[in-house]
Amino acid sequence: MKISCQIGKPEKIKTDALVLFAPQEQKLPRDLIPVDRATRGQISKLLKSGDFSGKEGESAVSYPDGRIPAQRILLAGLGKISEVNLETCRYSAGKALCRARDLGARECHLLLPEIPAGVGSGPIAQALIEGGLLALYQYEEYKTEKSKKQIQKITLLARSETERRLINSTITKIQIIIESVNFARDLVNGPGNKVTPEFLAGEARRLAREERLKLKIFGPAEIKKMGMGGLSAVSVGSTRNLPRFLVIEYPGKGRTGRKPVALVGKGITFDSGGISIKPANGMEEMKTDMAGAAAVLGTLRAAARLKLSPRIVGFIPATENMPSGSAYRPGDVLRPYSGPTVEVISTDAEGRLILADALAYACKKYRPEAIIDLATLTGACIIALGREASGLLGNDPKLIKKIIQAGEESGERVWQLPLWKEYGEAIKSNVADIKNSGNREAGTITGGMFLKHYVGDTPWAHLDIAGTAHEEKGRRYFGKGATGVGIRLLIKLLQDW
């Protein structure tokens, strides 16, 4: 996709689709007057007739018929002017560009909306591109017939030279970030018979080569030998697709020998539940149980391309969770890399077992400045927060605050849940130090309490992305399937680190 910004009068532009944004409850917006005049009132007609009211995400098309060079005008609703923000811009642009694509447009020009007070045109342009590129994403790898309608070029129309320069300087960055998000979405959408632990290792290898990252891949024998009792146990039910443990490092800019920021991603390439097998209904969704791993890979890709300054190390425990004659069982007791021993109550609470190893390993071997894990960890998180926010838990108020801030700014919202010590009662075990599952109460929190044992006093935050990694119906600027959640937030966090 080619994206650029130029100064130009919309009424003079030859394009497949001229996208003009308009808020609700307004007469003709000032910046649309020239186009309206040149088309003898086509825009005011759409407004007057009530065919277009400017509601968020609404769009209307009109054909200027040669009065201006644009082949069609696409009027895009921004919602109530008092409620317009970056998120509504993402949404409107996503809707408008999908409509343009479906109409067969290959090239689109977007006039930057004039939004009063507060938001600068740089961030607005950024939001329009983000929303557009995220919404236009399609996963077609296994479709025999690929859709022929594709937008190939998007041009933003700026009003001044300063605006143009400002926007052009951010376009490359945004494109890198969203391409990285879409790279992660491809991994998460990929079926479990393709995206295996070995496949993830291969993708990491490719990434390491392309972005000049350091990479270590540990295979099943080394995982066992290193004493990763959690990852070993979860993986032994699979006789075909064997586990990997990936450590992938971006050295950062400038000073060497700094403490890194550690990112840990849950990489269960398929979660059947194991011996504590899941119900058949909806089990196919469990191919997305490696969304945390995909987010870590996507973040490293973007960080390297953006040449961010912090040193970042990603840790990915990757395995299937399958039932078989060799599978681990409820009642088994495991020894993770370090930290408390674990009694297995449910083999379906496997995520925390593999994360325990990865967190402990990362903290011991790398002494990170901070460690953040991303995991599709609990169904309970979907019950608590639905799909509008990821769960956030951790042991360091400063880190938590920064993550909440980055969440707001990136549009990837998070909501904190507490880790009061009283919640620890639920995972006390009679035979081992702790157990991997409590009762049904506060499931996301007990998951967090479990992980907390393995980070020592390293500043740590856990993002439960079970509800946000995947869309069944599609919402905001996401279609059905993977969202690539986490990358936009982490990049924002690391940019401001």
Least distance to Zn ion from the beta carbon of 218, Å?
21
Contact 16, 169 (CB under 8 A): no
Residues 198-237, mask of contacts with Zn ion (x by CB under 5 A): ----------------------------------------
Find the binder of Mn ion among 11, 271, 343, 373 (CB under 5 A).
Answer: 271
274 in contact with ligand BES (CB under 6 A): no
Residue 101 appears among annotated catalytic residues: no
Query: Does residue 155 come out as left (phi exceeding 0), alpha (psi in the -120 to 50 range) or beta?
Result: beta
Find the binder of ligand BES among 16, 163, 249, 271 (CB under 6 A).
Answer: 271
402 exposure class (CB count in 10 Å sphere: 0-12, 13-18, 19+): middle
466 in contact with ligand BES (CB under 6 A): yes
Considering only the stretches 50-58, 110-118, 142-150, 374-382, report the one whose residues sit in contact with ligand BES under the rule CB under 6 A.
374-382
Considering only the stretches 159-167, 265-273, 299-307, 398-406, report the one whose residues sit in contact with Mn ion under the rule CB under 5 A.
265-273
Least distance to Mn ion from the beta carbon of 234, Å?
9
> Of the two residues 275 and 403, which places its CB atom closer to Mn ion in the complex?
275
Considering only the stretches 91-99, 163-171, 298-306, 377-385, report the one whose residues sit in contact with ligand BES under the rule CB under 6 A.
377-385
350 in contact with ligand BES (CB under 6 A): yes
* Total number of residues that touch Zn ion (CB under 5 A): 4
User: Which is the catalytic residue, given 352, 435, 476, 492?
Assistant: 352
351 in contact with ligand BES (CB under 6 A): yes
289 in contact with Zn ion (CB under 5 A): yes
Contact 354, 234 (CB under 8 A): yes
User: Which is the catalytic residue, given 67, 278, 402, 413?
Assistant: 278
Q: Which residues contact 156 (CB under 8 A, 6 or more apart)?
A: 3, 4, 5, 6, 109, 110, 112, 125, 128, 129, 167
Considering only the stretches 133-141, 218-226, 346-354, 406-414, report the one whose residues sit in contact with Zn ion under the rule CB under 5 A.
346-354
Three-state secondary structure string covering the chain: CEEEEEECCHHHCCCCEEEEEECCCCCCCHHHHHHHHHCCCHHHHHHHHCCCCCCCCCEEEECCCCCCCCCCEEEEECCCHHHCCHHHHHHHHHHHHHHHHHCCCCEEEEECCCCCCCCCHHHHHHHHHHHHHHHHCCCCCCCCCCCCCCCCEEEEEECCHHHHHHHHHHHHHHHHHHHHHHHHHHHHHCCCCCCCHHHHHHHHHHHHHHHCCEEEEECHHHHHHCCCHHHHHHHCCCCCCCCEEEEEEECCCCCCCCCCEEEEECEEEEECCCCCCCCCCCHHHHHHCCHHHHHHHHHHHHHHHHCCCCCEEEEEEEEEECCCCCCCCCCCEECCCCCCCEECCCCCCCHHHHHHHHHHHHHHHHCCCEEEEEECCCHHHHHHHCCCCEEEEECCHHHHHHHHHHHHHHCCCEEECCCCHHHHHHHECCCCCEECCCCCCCHHHHHHHHHHCCCCCCCEEEEECCCCCEECCCECCECCEECCCCHHHHHHHHHCC
Find the binder of ligand BES among 58, 163, 186, 289 (CB under 6 A).
Answer: 289
> Of the two residues 129 and 290, which places its CB atom closer to Mn ion in the complex?
290
Binding partner selected for residue 378 from Mn ion, ligand BES, Zn ion, none, CB under the kind-specific 5 to 8 Å limit: ligand BES
Which is nearest to 403 in space by CA: 374, 377, 368? 374
Residue 452 appears among annotated catalytic residues: no
437 in contact with ligand BES (CB under 6 A): yes
443 in contact with ligand BES (CB under 6 A): yes
Which is nearest to 370 in space by CA: 263, 492, 491, 214? 263
Binding partner selected for residue 302 from ligand BES, Mn ion, Zn ion, none, CB under the kind-specific 5 to 8 Å limit: none
464 in contact with Mn ion (CB under 5 A): no
Find the binder of ligand BES among 69, 330, 340, 379 (CB under 6 A).
Answer: 379
Binding partner selected for residue 380 from ligand BES, Mn ion, Zn ion, none, CB under the kind-specific 5 to 8 Å limit: ligand BES
| Residue 201 CB-half CA count within 13 A | 17
Find the binder of ligand BES among 359, 380, 384, 419 (CB under 6 A).
Answer: 380
> Of the two residues 180 and 444, which places its CB atom closer to Mn ion in the complex?
444
378 in contact with ligand BES (CB under 6 A): yes
Which two three-digit tokens encode residue 56? 């968020």
189 in contact with ligand BES (CB under 6 A): no
348 in contact with ligand BES (CB under 6 A): yes
> Of the two residues 252 and 274, which places its CB atom closer to Mn ion in the complex?
274
Find the binder of Zn ion among 271, 320, 357, 464 (CB under 5 A).
Answer: 271
Find the binder of Zn ion among 317, 351, 411, 443 (CB under 5 A).
Answer: 351
> Of the two residues 120 and 474, which places its CB atom closer to ligand BES in the complex?
474
Name the pairing type of β-strands 244-250 and 312-321: antiparallel
Binding partner selected for residue 379 from ligand BES, Mn ion, Zn ion, none, CB under the kind-specific 5 to 8 Å limit: ligand BES
Residues 334-353, mask of contacts with Mn ion (x by CB under 5 A): --------------x-----
- Could you list the residues that contact Mn ion (CB under 5 A)? 271, 348
Q: What does the binding site for Zn ion look like in residue numbers (CB under 5 A)?
A: 268, 271, 289, 351
* Residues annotated as part of the active site: 278, 352
Residues interacting with ligand BES, by CB under 6 A? 271, 289, 346, 348-351, 376-380, 437, 443, 466
